[in-house]
Amino acid sequence: MTDNDTHSLGVGYLLWIFGFTGSHRFYFGRPVSGTIYLFTLGLFLIGWIVDLFLMPGLERKAERRYVSGDRSYTVGWVLLVFLGVFGLHRFYLGKFVTGALYLLTLGLMGIGVIYDFWTLNEQISARNHELRSG
C-alpha cells in the first residue's frame, strides 16, 4: 500500500481473468492498450499472459498518476462496468445532470459509456483533487 493508494492490485488480477477484453488495462488507466486488447483478444492471448507478470508495475504507475481521495476508483469502475448505462458512476462523482442524462438515454446509447471507459480514471482524479482543494 502506498501513500497514494488509488487502485487495487487484487482488483487488477480479478480483471486480468477477463484481460483478453482489456478490462485490467482500462482499470489501470491504459485505455489505448485496453482498446487494442479488446479488439485483438489480449494481443492474441500473448499480451494477456505477459500482463500477469506486469500487473504490479501497472498498479504502481496508476498510483503515481492519479489522485487519491474520497472517491474510490474501484467503486467508480464497478458502477461503470455493471451499471454504466444507468449513469450511476456519474451520480457517484457528483455529476447529477449527466447522470440523469445517461439514465434517460441508456448511457447516451452506449457512446457515453465507451467515453467513460477511456476517461473514468481522469474524472475520478479530478473530482478527488477538487474535493481536496475544496
pLDDT, one tens digit per residue, over 15-25 is: 999 888 899 99
* Rounded Cα distance, 7 and 40, in Å: 25
> What Å distances lie between residue 107 and 30, 64, 121, CA to CA?
22, 30, 18
Residue spans per domain, the chain: 9-65, 73-133
What does pLDDT average to over the chain?
94
Here the cell at position 82 is 455493471
Average pLDDT over residues 13-42: 94
pLDDT band at residue 4 using 50, 70 and 90 as cut-offs: confident
